[in-house]
Structure 1
Amino acid sequence: MSAPVRGRSTRVRPAANRRPKSAEYRARRRIIVRRRLVALLTLLSVVALTYCVFFTPLLGVHQVDVRGAAVLTDDEIRGVAAVEPGSPLVRLDLQGIHDRVAAMPRVAAVEVERQLPGTVRLLITERVPVGSVKLSDGFHLVDSTGKDYAVLPAAAPGVPELVLATPSPADPATRAAVGVVNELPEKLRPEVVSVAATSGADVKLTLSGNRVAKWGSSEDTPRKAAVLLVLLTRPGTTYDVSSPDLATVS
């Protein structure tokens, strides 16, 4: 009787048992491939969208909408803004547009906004004259900050004349005269023909009817104005309210 052969036995699995495992592997493989394909397509879509937004006219500028302009025309402002049609909206230099428009003498303030899909909106606030200064080249409009921003051939209607040597926000006489005009009550404004100053402490108002109001500095303007309105009910040609507690009429 022969001895049994010792050694490692090998069990051969039936083909029926191997097939399900192979099918499971292929299914997992398909899922992995599908996921990779979806990730690749997503990446390509993002790259394509980014390229279209940043480097093509797809979301480019199609309109520059100007609002708030009164004396300036929309075309004047668009010309200075210099927004190139079709420029990608997201890459616009908004600060550069702002600075160019803000440098226009008549512009007091400007806001620049992007509006999808292709609009740039400019919100303009123009300067409003509080007085005009007659110089050799015409009437210079001055706003509430004392800035000389425009020249007209004739006096602006409804705006008092400012009698100043040189209008400038840095000039004490300009600051004093403009400061008084800024704080005058509406009831007194129609009476004011001109405001003169040679320094910050000698403001003088010429009123209708060849009357004069000596104002002094721009300090206490609301109080001085209230006193003057009372004094104007009395006959006289010169009203001194430079010291409102000691006001006089002559």
Structure 2
Amino acid sequence: MDSRIADRRRVVKEEAARKRLRWTIGVLVVAGLVGAVVWAVQSPLLDLDEITISGDSRASVEQRLMDAGVASGMPLLSVDAGGIVMALESDPWILQAEARVVWPNALDIVVVEHLPRVWVKGSAGWMLVSERGYVVATSATGGTALPRIELADLSEVPLGQRLDSTAVLGAIEFVAALDAEVSFDGTEESLFAWVDGLRVRLGRPIDMSAKAASLRALLDHGVPPGSTIDLLSAVRPAVVPPVVEVDDSTDPEAEVEGEG
């Protein structure tokens, strides 16, 4: 065989061997990198070791995290921040939630809770309603620390849902602007309040902050006990003094004649 042909065959074989070696080394390197990443992700170095929660006082944050499958020791890469937010905001007490993964091993949770404002009488019990009108709790009897609202034909609203009542929302606005003990009754179109023992006719639940300001000015000036306050218009409040009953059992003329 010609030596040149033999040399050519040897060169071709060596080149093919080098290509196979480079491919094998490349596969091993990639496999090593993948293995290192998997090991790092699954290793205790990148586990969820610390969960920080802030802003909660009434919400069941820990229970919601358990329901979302979040637990200490789980791989941090498997923590779904979006899913955690959805789970937290399903709690009726939570208005807004934020979840942030902090590498290498922490999770920060921040929640903003609803602020309860009034107890509202429903068809089957009492609903605790937040300043934005959301039902955050229910009770058979309701509490006494917050204002109470009893309206005709008001239906129950499930926990976490917004109460679609202009009268209730108006009452909440009124309460927020008035620093006094108050309770409400009436209908959607005609709202009444008891404030410091005085009957207040509020009418339609509009301009409630302005009506509260007018009432506060009247109370500061002084209102006779037993009076009724008309606040159909915030700019034209009226005070109706209590009716004084006259005792007709005594005849003034007879008393004069007897004295003579």
Question: Is contact 1:68–1:125 with CA below 8 Å preserved after alignment?
Answer: yes
Deviation at 1:70, TM superposition (A): 0.9
Task: Name structure 1 gaps, 5 residues minimum.
Answer: 1-38
Matched-pair identity in %: 25
Aligned partner of 1:208 in structure 2 is 196
Equivalent pairs counted in the alignment come to: 210
What amino acid sits opposite 2:223 in the alignment?
R
1:191 aligns with 2:181: yes
Task: Name structure 2 gaps, 5 residues minimum.
Answer: 1-25, 241-260
Q: 2:50 aligned to 39, 63, 68, which one?
A: 63
Change (3 A) 1:247 1:62: same
Higher mean alpha-carbon deviation, 104-113 vs 117-126, is at 117-126
Alpha-carbon separation, structure 2, partners of 1:144 and 1:167: 18
RMSD: 3.2
Question: Is contact 2:95–2:114 with CA below 8 Å preserved after alignment?
Answer: yes
What amino acid sits opposite 1:177 in the alignment?
V
Change (3 A) 1:151 1:240: same
Q: Please give the secondary structure, in 1, of the residue aligned with 2:85.
A: helix
Alpha-carbon separation, structure 1, partners of 2:173 and 2:36: 54
Question: Is contact 2:202–2:231 with CA below 8 Å preserved after alignment?
Answer: yes
1:241 aligns with 2:228: no
Question: Is contact 1:53–1:88 with CA below 8 Å preserved after alignment?
Answer: no
Matched ranges for 1:2-151 at <5 A: 46-73=33-60, 75-135=62-122, 138-151=125-138
Give the TM-score taking structure 1 as reference length. 0.69
Deviation at 1:154, TM superposition (A): 4.4
Alpha-carbon separation, structure 1, partners of 2:193 and 2:185: 6
Question: Is contact 1:55–1:88 with CA below 8 Å preserved after alignment?
Answer: yes
Deviation at 1:42, TM superposition (A): 8.0
Deviation at 1:95, TM superposition (A): 1.4
Deviation at 1:191, TM superposition (A): 2.9
What amino acid sits opposite 2:237 in the alignment?
A
